[in-house]
Structure 1
Amino acid sequence: MAVHTGTMSESIVISAVQQKKMKVFLRLITGSDSKKGRLEINYKGEWGTICSHGFNHVDAAVACRQLGYCSGQRISNNYVNDGIGNIWLVDIHCSGSENKLINCTYSSDASHCSHEYDVGVHCYLSCPAEEDEGLLRLITGSDSKKGRLEINYKGEWGTICSHGFNHVDAAVACRQLGYCSGQRISNNYVNDGIGNIWLVDIHCSGSENKLINCTYSSDASHCSHGYDVGVHCYLSCPAEEDEGLLRLITGSASNKGRLEINYKGEWGTICSHGFNHVDAAVACRQLGYCSGQRIPNKYVDDGSGNILLVDIHCSGSENKLINCTYSSDASHCSHGYDVGVHCYLSCPAEEDEGLLRLITGSASNKGRLEINYKGEWGTICSHGFNHVDAAVACRQLGYCSGQRISNNYVNDGIGNIWLVDIHCSGSENKLINCTYSSDASHCSHGYDVGVHCYLSCPAEEDEGLLRLITGSASNKGRLEINYKGEWGTICSHGFNHVDAAVACRQLGYCSGQRIPNKYVDDGSGNILLVDIHCSGSENKLINCTYSSDASHCSHGYDVGVHCYLSCPAEDDEGRLRLISNFVEHKGRLEINYKGEWGTICHTRFDHVDAAVACKQLGYCSGEMIPSNYVDDGQGTIWLDDIHCSGSENKLINCTYSIDTSHCSHWYDVGIDCFLNCSTENEVNSVLDYKQLLLIAVPTIGVLE
């Protein structure tokens, strides 16, 4: 029997033999546990510590027997308080048969050692017979069959380190506890223990009846309670043919929800890692449906309790999900990844699959496209869906053809999104015959496909009638086209004067030009064409290149054109007139261009240009007058940026622009034509006088 001396915080344990002889050779400097602490030796009449270099469990057993215990083991330096004074011995080596530690071989040269390497030992309270060693218990929470595994070793309860511990080891432990089998659970789900960590690196073959009969190490010095082993013991272990019942935890639809399995007598969820449509089809067939597919985790309510299986892989021929390959180690998975499946209500023959319908608004031939797939209606994701695919769908619906419309014009659907990444060659008679993917998990109803099916598909020579929606002038307004049997507008992006000339010639005019969007009333209905580009030789606008995808355009950009009433020969074009009030040789200048009278914008118009205009009108010369002395005109502003050299006999022969979209009638050109030009000097004198006058009275005008 051992006795204790010293303080409460640190006590000295002296063996009975030493006490009897009154000659102390070994002692334990302990803390809260009287059988565990720093080992010290009385050597040469003085107490000192022992260096742990080379000190092992056999040496510790000899020391503990000398101290009156049945046996013991070395403990890690991390758990030993540093001593003080002499370090007496080092490199101790015992055979195990010695009755005193001093009888083992050793060295007394510990000069290379420090107190942080002082030996510590854990002496055993009891050393039961081999058949009595290793009782187990579960420290559980709400579930009596699941928790931290503890072992009674050398008379004390302690935990087991999970390093190297696996499902086979857990099964042995659970059978020892009276269950049919079990598995290891993740450290995340195990509350940390306290006290001793007894065993580590356990390895069982699976045939053992006790965990202590497996191979193991008792050196758990590198382990902490954060790695304590936890096990889940099974309530029942049904025969193979009875294992693996399934159920669906559903919401509003009885054929869609979270998949759960009864495994080892308990219901639990399945982790979706590696789970695919083939696996879902097997599960759905087991549940009595014809087939099915996996649904995204975001549409599955999180389960609770055990996650039983993971990494399921089925070939597709299995009649039960449990017959597929799988892992029961789902420790890395959470309920946010619970598997969900959508089981099909019916699996029609290939030729009967894939009915289509249009969910429309005011136009019966335009709307959201839906498909009946596996017995249920659902939408189609627009990713990768194009006009060729839309044409196939529309032909299936009984129309001659069609095109895709922008998602902006499609009302969001509800329920299933069945197909995505559809690709048709154009020859298919059903959309379901095109290639596609049924994994639309990355898609939302904001991307539901919409199509515009054509009411008619006229022959190429009959396609593309045009009309002008006009106001007060019958030759000017919004341009509309009849395309695929419907009237609609044209987007002005890329539309220019050459394109307008082609359109006007088709309408029966000699030519024409585009007018700015601000002078065009917005249309309604379909915007049919965009990015039109004509060479100028076409006899119909539809013969030019174009795109029918105007999804990015709005009616604020509807094309407007001004068609010319006449296109006179070059030498007949450009007659001029003066609109005057009191003086017939001074007023607003107007030009007859393309058969119509209109004004001229004064941007860059100068005296040289005015002189050319006046000479064309029969005067000897002239000059420009300020806009504020010119009455505003009305109708078309024909020309702008006129620049004359002065030698021209007609204003139309000068350079100019017909883009007057930035100009208003406030800037109409006015001129003052000279009644006579007696001599060049007199003309110059008049001009000099006018310039001086304008300098003195700058509000009259500006002479360049």
Structure 2
Amino acid sequence: MDRLLVLLMLLWSSECEDIRLAEGDGRCAGTLELKRGEWTKVDIRDWTLKEAAVFCQHLDCGSVISLLNRKLSSKTVAWYVNHDCGQSGFPLSDCGRYEHTFYAQYLICSDSVRLLNGSTISSGRLEVRSNHQWSSVCETDFDQQDAEVVCRELGYGAPLIIQGAFFGEAPAPIWTKEFQCAGNESGLLECKSSDSAGNTCSPDRAVGLACLESDDIRLTGGDSHCAGTLELKQGDWRPVDGQNWTLEAAAAFCLHLDCGAAVSVGERRESSNRTVWRIISDCVHSGSPFRECITLGSSSLLLNLICSDSVRLLGGNSLCSGRLEVKSSQPNHQWSSVCEAGFDWQDAEVVCRELGCGLPTVFQGVLFGGVEALIGTKEFQCAGNESGLLECKSSDTAGNTCSSGRAVGLFCSGSFRLVGEASLCTGTLELKHLDDWRPVEASAWTLKAAAVFCKYLHCGSAISLQRRVASSSRYLWRVSPHCFRHGNEKTKCITSTYSFFILYLTCSDSIRLLNGKSLCSGRLEVRSNQSNHQWSSVCEDDFDRHDAEVVCRELSCGAPLTFQGALFGKAAAPIQKKEFQCAGNESGLLECKSSDSGGNTCSPDRAGGLICSEPVRLVGGDSRCAGTLELKDAGVWRPVDASGWTLEAVGPVCLHLGCGPAVSVGERREFSDKPAWLIERYCDLSGLDLRECITYWHSSSAVNLVCFEIQVQPNISVSSSMDGVSQVQQRRFQVSRSSKLTITCSIQPQLSGGFFQLIFTSSNTAFSYSRPAVNHLARFVFPAANPAHQGNYSCVYHLLSHSFSSQSCLLSVTSSNPTALIIRWVVVPLTLLMVNIALYFYRKATRGQRPSRQQNMELVVCTLYVSAAEERPDEEGEAQAAEQDLHGTHLISP
């Protein structure tokens, strides 16, 4: 139940109760007391100011102004009411408990003005109390000076909005006086007033007012106004409790103080407890004013906050990304964006270091939208080792103008980085926690789990994961992979540990596969250079088998299986305008030669998707379908530990290897532990991508596996409306022109799902068609055969969930002219028959003899045998789908 709703229920249920504010300057200020036989102080120390406002309303006072904690001269009994109490609407006297305390809460409400129906306690429709009656104020009788007095009276900053009916029409009477404030009065009713020009005012002209939150917030004891112990003023200045703060939560205070980004949060311990403000971070994140989010508390840990003085990143999805702005020291301390033309890699390194954000990964214009601030006219000339951007040398840019589209946006690695190598996408993984950079301990991590860091660092796909031994044991950060991957708060997933083993991660610099079922499948995207955040899809027309071999090798996957447009969805990113010309032996795609593609446009549905095989094998057995299971990662083949394997679990491995079902699973013992792969126990092997499930291990046992040697291979059959049905075993089939040609692909019933590719090749062209496997088969219908259909056909079955592909035998199809067939099968036999009849009668006439039973000529007819699988009636819609014209698709056969 919403906390405010609970409080309103409490208020409703306590209407008949005796509640008062005692020992104050008036009826609307004092210590909150409840009559339970005798007057007893009410302890509401964990209530926020917004929640305490219900008591002001109950007492017919105005808006709430402050809630203070006052120390009593002696310990006393108080009635403690917390937020869980009263959810069922019980009166205050029935909801709470007695406690002994030295403190009481002192509540101050205004006695003559209030703001109603606003989204915050600093906004709403203005009402004034006179003669025990509340009245709205007409906007024509209210001006800027009047508004300044009201906002000051309620403890806020300058007025922001003064407008009629902004917070609804007025149900109460309309005030008939015009206020004439000078602006320096302490309360609205202290201002002069006169009868308004008109004594009537319509309800839609009742003035609404919004005040700026007061500037009662500061950082003290630091080197500048942007560093120190955080303090808030609500009646009294008090520090903020320092427990459980994150940089993300504290960033709102830096913004409020007109400082830059939040750089660090910490705790300053005092010798004893003192009264502090506790801030509800969720309340701050929701955009509510700070005064609505604080409660009174006691603590010896105070919040120390450091904000940057002069740089900040705005509009990003983290504290370490966004549009870069710089605050000038002279003359007016104004924030300005930075032009990308005056900013380079060394400048970016300084900014990321100044913000405590690791290393730069990307900087580029218009990464984070248009620019509202001014564009700086200075070009920075950092050496890269400065501690702050304004310490760098600078000069005027060649041109003093820079379009809003060139304001630089910056990505830093944030609280994660890969160090020790030249590439930002390879190295020892380090994490910043509690302002301390440490390597991440390597236990329990899999490549799939670690892929999140590649994405976080704006690198490509995850390639390999290694567990390296440090030169000596040290304190490392242990990060729970499952906790981190499931979106939990980072601080809840991290502990300190003492270990030798550190995590070494390799991500690709420039290529990635997206939306695939595994790390080795997905839509291919390429990034041209490190300083460019833009990833581009690759058009299928500009990519061939050699290119695919390079990509699969670069990602440490097996041989390429398929490359086809829109296999993994349409392209969201721009389309690459280069055609790659790889020889096939390059180590990376960007090492290949390239040229401008023939056409500079490529539709999103032709963005190429790639499937590479998984590097898995069985070795040491009697056949390729038996032996010790090994997996290749980072160029190294290692056996798989035998722990936890069952016959059911290894079934997908047999299918992936193109073998039949699993027959047996066992283990091979070694004399000592050796490097091995351990399959992570949470991994779902039904989707077979073992590289996503492995973690580095040492073991003396490896899994031995025996599968049936029968390879699951699809069948292909062909039929024609004129020429019958044939299986591929005949290898050739002749179809009559203009007849309907149907090619059927099928697979054994032990496999379900997946899709078929029908591959067509001829002397001068190659095409492919794809259809889902329904009841283990798919039909491809060509309504009118013609010479363009002459060539070789084969069926390729793909089961992506198992990374399995298998190809049928080839079928050669030729076409013939129906007229020639008529001549061959009708005219020629009839002519021969007539000739035989003529010869018969001729011989009879000339020789007078009866013909013998023995024929002098036999007609030999070659019959095409129909397969056992009879053709079924076409399903509705199949012919329509297959009647489309042949369309080109780059083909990669398994």
Question: TM-score, length-normalised on structure 1?
Answer: 0.31
Higher relative strand content: 2
Larger radius of gyration: 1
Question: TM-score, length-normalised on structure 2?
Answer: 0.26
